[in-house]
Structure 1
Amino acid sequence: MPIDAGSLHYAVGPVIAFIALAIIAVFLRWAFASSTPKRATRSSAEDGLLTRVATLTRKDSALALRAVLSDAGIRSTVRFPAPHRADVLVFPEDAARARELAGTFQS
């Protein structure tokens, strides 16, 4: 049976394929979605494996404290969660000693 040149029968196959792909995409998004809602920001108490021992307002001060901790044999890192804020983080087993050194630290 010849197809009329003005007919849209040639578009039926691709339209059905597109609809099927859209249904599969929606199903997969639903099936593999996380069961817990995502939070937009990380809470300040959530430091992962590390413990916050000091929060300073200057980057230079935080890096200087990190050098003091390093001289004492304490591994540390600095996180900058916001402008004019630097958190110094250490592993939990070194937290008590690091807090003592941070308390005597002059920025």
Structure 2
Amino acid sequence: MSNVSFVIVYVDDVARSEAFYASILGRAAVESSPAFAMLPAAPGLMLGLWKRDGVRPPATAAGGGEIAFTAENNAEVDALCAAWRAKGVTIALEPTAMDFGYTFVAVDPDGQRLRVFAPVG
């Protein structure tokens, strides 16, 4: 398992949130679109701002974010999903291809979302 590399928060207005976080972090976004922006939060840690109405599975009012873990490839995503399921972890989204990569979503005991993904490219 790799280290936590990405924290995602759900936002209503990506541009507004991108400007806010760029201002307080003192770092510009390295990726920006109407639906998603990504900023370096710390060495080895990125902050993602994802437009709430585009999140899959749909975002809930509580929680409002997820911790993302980067996998090496699609096979590792599948293996981790199976391993976590075997440990009794609830899987909210089965492994699936999305525009950013191959991913699944689990939830911790408090309902926080944990996303494992193998990035595209």
Normalised TM-score (structure 2): 0.34
Larger Rg over CA atoms:
1
Between Structure 1 and Structure 2, the one with more helix by share is 1
Normalised TM-score (structure 1): 0.37
